[in-house]
Amino acid sequence: MSIAEYQSQKKPKVDNYLTHNRGFLSWALTLDHKRIGLLYMMFVLSAFLLGGTFAVLLRTSLLTPNHWMFPSDPAHDTQAKLFYNNMFSLHGAVMVFMFIIPAIPAILGNFMLPMMLGAKDVAFPRLNLMSFYIYCLGAILFTWILMGGILRTAFNIHLPFGFGLDTGWTFYTPFSTSKAEDGMVAGVLGAFILGFSSILTGVNFIASIHTLRPRGMTWFRMPLFLWALYATSIIQVLATPVLAITLLLLIAERLLHVGIFDSSLGGDPVLFQHFFWFYSHPAVYIMILPGMGVISEVISVHSRKHIFGYNFIALSSVALALLGFLVWGHHLFVAGQSNLVDSIFSLLTFSVAIPSAVKVFNWLGTLYRGSIRFTPAMLFAMGFILLFTIGGLTGLFLGALATDVPLHDTYFVIAHFHYVMVGSMVFAFLAGMYHWFPKMFGKMCNPAWGRFAAILLFIGFNTTFFPQFVMGAHGSPRRWATYPVEFQPYHVISTIGSYIMAISLITVALNWLAGLLWGKKAPANPWGGNSLEWHCPSPPPYDNFPTPPVVDDPYNLAAWEYDASIEGWVPRKSQPAAATGPAANRTRPVTH
Amino acid sequence: MSTASTEVSAHSHAHGPGHHDPHLAHHFDTPEQQFTSAKLGMWIFLGTEILMFGGLFCAYSIYRHNHPLVFKFAAEAYLSTKWGAINTVILITSSLTMAWGVRAAQLNQKKLLISCLVMTLMGAAGFLGVKTIEYSAKWDEHVWVGSWNKYNGDNDASYATPPPAQPTTQPAIQIPVPAYSPTAIADDANTGLDVSQIKPRYAYSFNQSIQLAPPKRASDAKPTDEEQRDERYRQLSASDQWRVNTFFSCYFLMTGLHGIHVIVGMGLISWILMRTLRNDFSSEYFTPVDLVGLYWHLVDLIWIFLFPLLYLIH
Amino acid sequence: MSLTHSNDIPAPVADDVGPDAPHGVHAVPRRTLAGVYGLLILFTVITVAVSKVDLGAANIWAALLIAVIKGGLVTMYFMHLRWDSPFNGLILIVALFFVSLFIGLALLDSHSYEPQMKPTPMYVKTQ
């Protein structure tokens, strides 16, 4: 026989969403939600790399009280501080707008939402693709402006239109409207464009969950990840337009001098903060809610136990979304907000801790008497629970008026939000990626390296950010390029921690790459989950389900049993009694 | 909850033998599901538009609440109720023709749909025409947006008067200018720190050579409109005089953003018109007409609120 | 959750639609469209007239009330919300609620600190 015939005999033809059609255009113009999720993944992870690189650079520059990266004469002092301002602006802006807000919804949400609904795609696939291209456009513009500033201030390299942004990601007036660098208008335009990507994704998800749920899947039979995405989408749809108008007003102020925020023209700078934080506070719930959804899935599946308190977790997601809109004033406590409104917002801020606490208790209740497997996903999830608790509790210090006054704009705030954004959200993102990696790519990652990376990241993260709580409580201000010499030990420990984090994240990346290239073939259900995405092959075929899946309680893990021959889970032939419902929480966990 | 898993197939496949609706996307089961989904998506998008304009209404509310006389003066002096009312009637009529057009699409009345869409477009064009008249009148009177407004402190020929001197017990805070040589920072004058490049921006850059219209003459000649206006302006308190510019910012931002939405709406309606001419729509598939109609009605809704808030301040 | 027509308001069929009209389509009757249009013009006239009468602080509330009525008419009849799923209307109400929340708290704040606002120059150059 010919060589071609021989080769076609050896390898069976594989048809999944990755191989279904080939060529650049089949990816660039794809309407398949799974491919769009992967396209997002490339860009979002690149943004993470960019923002993370600058985080390490920032920490490195803070090793000494005077920025050692530049010669120490007065002329270079100014330039060095400008460089520092550009660096933390880039780090914050890239991480917030280009990484955290899209990460879980655009990657894991796009991939898993239709599959968890047993559907073939999201409600509006073309809108989905448009969201992606809007994201690309905004990301490219934003990055260009920000990197241009870095290159100019550090190396005197002038990119065309590379103006730079030195206001921090919060663009506060009056600095941003009068004295900030010329990159303001273009940079803010980039953020404006990125916002639309977020809005359209939210529209898509809400419509999908309302109209594509299969018969038998009532609201309270959805996986909790979908509840989390639904709550996130509500916030995206309601809050992001206010950011859009804020940024437009900022551009108008800067270009036309309209006098809305500029006090020398009759405007009110505090009004800008009201406008900005009305979006940006709910935005932090856009960041954390999908992560909480991932954790609900991972904790349940990897401890072989039905989720504890399903109704409470589901409703607390929506409660968090709605309550998150009532507390934005806590960012303005020392900005000149009136005493009356200060008190109102402080009181409301305490209420927003309640739904989060409800979830933490329910996750702990799920872990209790579960059969815990220390997979990488589970390790990240457990890290999440601890770090989110710390982050959330330190938020209460900042929500109480009296303690906020000395702590505002110090390293305490930085530590607080990094505990919730990195310690919680990034950990959740990594947990989700490890959990769904086999489904997305059909390969298994080496778990030993994954566990190593999780533990190393936990150590590195705490080393980096715990000293910052102490620094902040001692009064060290944030966003300062230099600092009094007595804070140096904290900064050095923090910087060492950041290097440990960098190593662990590189380990994660290599772990994934190795899994993609040389990983074992993944079974359809490697972890034994029961939500619908596990009912199809790994990786899924082009239209998700060869036969329509059967709708069941997504946490009925007893429906699966372990099959050592494929190192995966298969449907159990005989159903044990009382496998679902309240009794499930009191039975011993299902073992294989 | 039952103990056995529910044996329900996730999606019923409602395909008749040999029938495949070309408009039905592969991930929807029925055309009704698809239409409901599209409408829901559009309503969510309209919600986002309401939130976006809501921000502008917030700025307006705050400035009007804190400086009601400013808004009264500026609206009475410079805004024409007549043109505003005409615009309102035009937009309501175009809403009627749009709604009629949607009905025509639903009932397979192609010719009627085309005329309705054309009339809606004419209404939109009429609206923009009236807006042009208004905006050019404002340009002629030097009350455009931002620094082109004679009441704006940034304007070289600003009317803005300095606030009265306030007795203080402590000296005003002086911010020292850093003494670094600009040339040391490469050859880039745009670092923002080269202070000599920054034009000092005072709230009261009062140009002494500009005179307000002279006070009313002793003879009983009737004062001109401009003189009456300046007289009313003089009667405002100093802090209010300095904020007249804010009214025009609100006015231009709100009507400007609304105008952009009208232009976008015209584009969408033209697109629908082209598709109608190509026979794309029927009573079985008229979703895009319906959705564009919803957008157009939102544009009308926003104007229904803008009109009394901006034009009817007395 | 049914997202098709709500059950408590039966969907009227257009008055001039014959027996072979497309099935399941609800078109707004012409009389309804014309009537709503007439009401909208009427309310526009009323709002202009009311604004000429000095009611003090009540003027703006009267204007807003009339605007809400006009808006309600456009929403319910032109935008078909009267016969649509109630969830679409809920979206509108929720959006309006959050706008009011935003305006309310920001207005409360700026009202409270307004007495402290003084016009000042951006900065004063020494030397």
What amino acid is encoded at B155 in this protein? N
Interchain CB distance below 8 Å, B245 and A266: yes
Q: Does B65 touch chain C (CB under 8 A)?
A: yes
pLDDT tens for each residue of C14-39: 455 544 445 556 889 999 999 999 99
Interchain CB distance below 8 Å, A336 and C113: yes
> How many residues are listed for chain C in this entry?
127
> How many residues are listed for chain B in this entry?
314
The tokens for B59 are: 């700025």
Taking only the tens of pLDDT, chain B with its 314 residues reads 333 333 333 444 444 444 567 888 888 989 999 999 999 999 999 999 999 999 999 999 999 999 999 999 999 989 999 999 999 999 999 999 999 999 999 999 999 999 999 999 999 999 999 999 999 999 988 888 888 888 877 665 556 544 444 444 444 445 554 444 444 333 334 444 444 444 444 333 333 334 455 555 555 567 778 888 888 888 887 778 778 889 999 999 999 999 999 999 999 999 999 999 999 998 889 999 999 999 999 999 999 999 999 999 87
ipTM of the complex: 0.91
d(CA A41, CA A44): 5
pLDDT tens for each residue of A313-355: 999 999 999 999 999 999 999 998 889 999 999 999 999 999 9
Nearest-CB residue to C25 (from B44, B106, B163): B106
Interchain CB distance below 8 Å, A178 and C87: no
Count of helix runs (H) and strand runs (E) in chain C:
3, 0
Nearest-CB residue to A264 (from B9, B33, B201): B201
Q: Does A340 touch chain C (CB under 8 A)?
A: yes
Minimal Cα–Cα distance from C69 to chain B, Å?
Answer: 10
Domain boundaries, chain A: 529-592
Interchain CB distance below 8 Å, C106 and A339: no
The tokens for A57 are: 């650079």
Quickly count: other Cβ atoms within 10 Å of residue C57's Cβ: 7
Domain B33-149+244-311 class, CATH top level = mainly alpha
Nearest-CB residue to C120 (from A263, A274, A341): A263
Interchain CB distance below 8 Å, A265 and B40: no
Interchain CB distance below 8 Å, C109 and A274: yes
H or E element at residue B63: helix B31-66
pTM value? Answer: 0.88
Nearest-CA neighbor of A425 among A286, A241, A236, A272? A286
Please report the residues numbered 478 through 507 in chain A whose beta carbons come closer than 8 angstroms to any beta carbon of chain B: none
Nearest-CA neighbor of B284 among B21, B43, B20, B98? B21
Minimal Cα–Cα distance from B55 to chain A, Å?
Answer: 6
Nearest-CA neighbor of C89 among B91, A315, B46, B301? B46
Residues of A in contact with C110 (CB under 8 A): 268, 270-271
SS (H, E, C) A33-95: HHHHHHHHHHHHHHHHHHHHHHHHHHHHHCCCCCCCCCCCCHHHHHHHHHHHHHHHHHHHHHH
Interchain CB distance below 8 Å, B308 and C98: no
Q: Where in chain B is the domain with CATH 1.20.120.80?
A: 33-149+244-311
Q: Does B178 touch chain A (CB under 8 A)?
A: yes
Backbone angles phi, psi at B175, to 5 degrees: -100, 115
Nearest-CB residue to C22 (from B48, B57, B284): B284
- B–C CB contacts, 8 A cutoff, strictly below: 177
3-state SS class at B82: helix
Question: How big is the CA angle at A447 (ends A446 and A448), to the nearest 5 degrees?
Answer: 95
Question: Dihedral sign, CA of B284, B287, B290, B293?
Answer: negative
Per the rule left: phi > 0, alpha: psi between -120 and 50, beta: everything else, A163 is alpha
d(CA A39, CA A44): 9
Taking only the tens of pLDDT, chain A with its 592 residues reads 666 666 666 556 778 899 888 899 999 999 999 999 999 999 999 999 999 999 999 999 999 998 788 877 777 888 888 899 999 999 999 999 999 999 999 999 999 999 999 999 999 999 999 999 999 999 999 999 999 989 988 888 888 877 888 899 999 988 888 777 778 888 999 999 999 999 999 999 999 999 999 988 999 999 999 999 999 999 999 999 999 999 999 999 988 888 899 877 888 899 999 999 999 999 999 999 999 999 999 999 999 999 999 999 999 999 999 999 999 999 999 998 889 999 999 999 999 999 999 999 999 999 999 999 999 999 999 999 999 999 999 999 999 999 999 999 999 999 999 999 999 999 999 999 999 999 999 999 999 999 999 999 999 999 999 999 999 999 999 999 999 999 999 999 999 999 999 999 999 999 999 999 999 999 999 999 999 999 999 899 998 988 888 899 999 999 999 999 999 999 988 755 444 544 444 444 444 3
Nearest CA in chain A to B251: A258
Minimal Cα–Cα distance from C5 to chain A, Å?
Answer: 14
Domain boundaries, chain C: 85-114
Q: Does A428 touch chain B (CB under 8 A)?
A: no
Interface-testing mutation among C84, C105, C111, with chain A (most A C-beta atoms within 10 A): C105
